[in-house]
Structure 1
């Protein structure tokens, strides 16, 4: 009997390990625990999750060039969002990539100016948000990725006027010194943004289901294995119950910083699936980039992917997030629709 109990305990331990360990299907573990410990990545991400504005120099009339001159150069900025507007702060998601091609993690903030020689605005703190799910929710793509981004940065940046802006990120290294990376973004007016916004009624688009694709799961979902977020069409549930509608293509995403958003949706569906419908819509016709975007994306006027729209039971959009989305921001978005 003792041997049987010991064997049973060992089997249960293996099952827990296979499922990622920690938490339950309804209560995923702390996302930071999913970051590998190698090279101190977990500790670096841990301190990057909650940056303090006081850790960064105030703009105080300095230009971007002057601020950059106080930082160590080398990394590049990988933008993970592309839509920026005046008015309400825009979400700027990005990765910082070192000269060795590896992600750089640490407390981070953003500065902006129309040109590098103009006075800067900032710092806008950019908390890191973990992209890695518990093991049981990881797709084959995520599990076999050789150099995954463990986290993505995101800052809420207020742009005073439309036009082109220079961007400077500042990341605090383990030695306390700041590391700088530069980029550019284009900003339009909110009125010129054709994508449905928070507060708008969501277009009642017909999303693909196993029925509409005649049972072809390869067309329905490029994730391996396919998810179960295709059971109903968005048009059938919009305005009746809360919905998290995710436009994403796990296999065909062109950017390193897209992140495994479909995996994150599955993990959060385990926690919130009794309160909200989770729907995933693939992006390209026949999963062929050359054939263009599928009709649901056209109806939402989406020029890119991934996009997440959270819709409350009245059919109103309560959150919209473009590009790479981490576990925390995804969950915060879901809560707005409940």
Structure 2
């Protein structure tokens, strides 16, 4: 993977939406296809076709919808494959989160194909937040910008676009790739960080530096998140959930649990691990096998799912 310039705070902490909707998503940028096209002043220029999936799937699966919903893509990047976990939020017309609804989803991997669905989504609460998210498992055979439509039991519906990547197109190191080896701060060596852990009270995941654990051939559960300086409702719960799973005894005792803050200071200077791991969003959780390869990863709200965090830890040995 090619190295990217060191990201600024603006890049790392971008939200895909505003208002209450922003609280439902991880800190991320929207896929290119969601960005509006530049207008043209020339009447002789034929308008460009709409971006892939901007309504066609929704019209096909819910032509008689009772109202329009805003479906919030809660993941920066989803990988190709069967049974891939995907999380999303739903916001109503009054900008109020839709929680606890019966929701089914459809996807369309290639334009013109028969939609895949309906697939039941499961609602999950966000710890200590009056919000929630929906989780679904999808078969995603191809990479690209893939539309997903969500329809509630009362006929309200909306659509989002998923950024789906394979091993060749992944922006963030995927499973099977070597884990970037970089130092992270510990209680004994802060490495110049202003804060070791901005969770209150601090988490128990700062006993060893990532580079030391990897060079020793130890499996690692790595969390990259900043509870104190995050702009969404996800980062704080991420560290809390992962630390709780660690304390519960999930995974082999040989697994090292490491947390690193996104910033070296009070939310301005991006830390070296964020750059080394080429992260364009946060929070992230990576499971790293003893041979130094990435075994699995979770991003955005997926990081606050206890069962998924525990399963990733169990997979390392």
Q: How does 1:270-281 map to 2 (within 5 A)?
A: 270-272=247-249, 274-281=253-260
Query: What are the equivalent positions in structure 2 for 1:187-206 lying under 5 Å apart?
Result: 187-206=164-183
Equivalences, count? 256
1:284 CA drift (Å): 2.2
Q: 1:240 to 1:131 in 2, by over 3 A?
A: farther
Q: 1:252 to 1:263 in 2, by over 3 A?
A: same
2:77 is matched with 83
Equivalent residue for 1:148, pick from 116, 130, 136: 130
Closer/same/farther in 2, CA of residues 118 and 257 from structure 1, 3 Å limit: farther
Deviation, structure 1 residue 188: 4.2
Any residues of structure 2 matched to 1:69-218 within 5 Å, and which?
69-87=63-81, 90-98=84-92, 99=94, 101-113=96-108, 119-132=114-127, 142=128, 147-149=129-131, 151-172=132-153, 177-213=154-190
**Residue 304 (1) aligns with residue 281 (2):** yes
Structure in which a larger fraction of residues adopt helix: 1
Cα deviations across residues 111-158 of structure 1 (Å, max 9, x unaligned)?
Answer: 2237998742333443334443xxxxxxxxx4xxxx432x43223334
- Pairwise CA RMSD: 3.0
1:214 to 1:86, Cα distance in 2 relative to 1, 3 A:
closer
Q: 5 Å matches for 1:219-238?
A: 219-238=195-214
Deviation per residue, 1:293-323 (Å, 9 max, x gap): 3111211111111111112333332221111
User: Using the alignment, how far apart are the partners of 1:201 and 1:302 within structure 2?
Assistant: 15
Structure 1 alignment gaps of length 5 or more: 1-61, 133-141
Contact 2:167 2:174 in 1 (8 A): no
For 2:263, which of 276, 280, 284 is the aligned residue? 284
Contact 1:244–1:277 (8 Å) recurs in 2: yes
- Mapped partners of 1:317, 1:152: distance in 2: 26
Partner of 2:26: none
Compare relative contact order (CA 8 Å, sep 6+) and give the higher one, 1 or 2.
Answer: 2
Q: Unaligned stretches of 5+ in structure 2?
A: 1-55
CA distance in 2, matches of 1:187, 1:199: 17
Residue 336 of structure 1 pairs with residue 312 of structure 2: no
Q: Please tell me whether the aligned partners of residues 58 and 157 of structure 2 are also in contact (alpha carbons under 8 angstroms).
A: no
Q: Which moved more, 1:93-102 or 1:302-311?
A: 93-102
Task: Report how far residue 182 of structure 1 moved.
Answer: 1.9
Matches within 5 A, 1:319-330: 319-324=296-301, 325=303, 326-330=305-309
1:219-248 deviation digits (Å, cap 9, x = unpaired): 222212222211211111225333211011
Structure 1 residues 103 and 233 mapped into 2: Cα distance closer, same or farther (>3 Å)?
Answer: farther
Cα distance per residue 1:148-173 (max 9 Å; x no partner)? 32x4322333444444333211233x
Once residues 336 and 92 of structure 1 are traced to their aligned partners in structure 2, the CA distance between those partners, rounded to angstroms, is 19
1:331 Cα deviation from its structure 2 partner = 1.6
Name the stretch that deviates more: 219-228 or 116-125: 116-125
Query: Is the 8 Å Cα contact of residues 130 and 328 (structure 1) preserved in structure 2?
Result: no
Query: 1: CA distance between counterparts of 2:160 and 2:237?
Result: 24
